Amino acid sequence: MSKKPESPSAVCRNRNAAFKFEILEKTECGIVLLGSEVKSLRTGRASLDEAFARFRDGAIWLFAFHIPPYEQAGPTNHEPTRPRKLLLKRSELHRIEAKLQQKGLTLIPTSAYFNERGLLKITLGLARGKKLHDRRQSLRERDDRRQMQRAERRSR
């Protein structure tokens, strides 16, 4: 009987992504990192809040993903917001590139986590921006859910 793999440990999440965007599809990909970046990520202080992904030179690159410098790295430390290449199969690259040709679609990272093999994975979301009234409706639905949960707890 094999042991069930442990759940991936999330390093950081883009919490505003679900609020500002309508996520149509998600894709998991790898990322090219330096050693000091991996060590800094293991401390869990990274930020995906301003990050975005774009096509450049036939590959997808992640911009504005903030990984703070690793204190023990010394003078060979990395730049915190440098562009980082994402690793996808060629067929997935072509599929995503074709979908991005549609008007109004963008690629945003929704989470970063270490998988069971210890590799950092980025979850990219193919998204469409929400309008102001859509955001208000999302807030209303969230508030309604909270009120229902509170009412359920009180009735128990």
Q: What is the dihedral of CA 96, 97, 98, 102, to 10 degrees?
A: 100
- Return the sign of the alpha-carbon dihedral for residues 55, 131, 28, 15: positive
Helical H segments across 13-131, by residue range: 17-20, 35-42, 90-100
Given a contact cutoff of 8 angstroms between Cβ atoms, the answer to whether 111 and 51 are in contact is no
Q: How far apart are CA 121 and CA 2, in angstroms?
A: 24
List, for residues 94-145, the tens digit of each pLDDT value: 998 888 887 888 899 999 999 888 889 999 999 888 777 777 888 888 889 9
pTM of the model: 0.75
| Domains of the chain, first to last | 9-130 (2.40.280.10)
Q: How far apart are CA 22 and CA 27, in angstroms?
A: 15
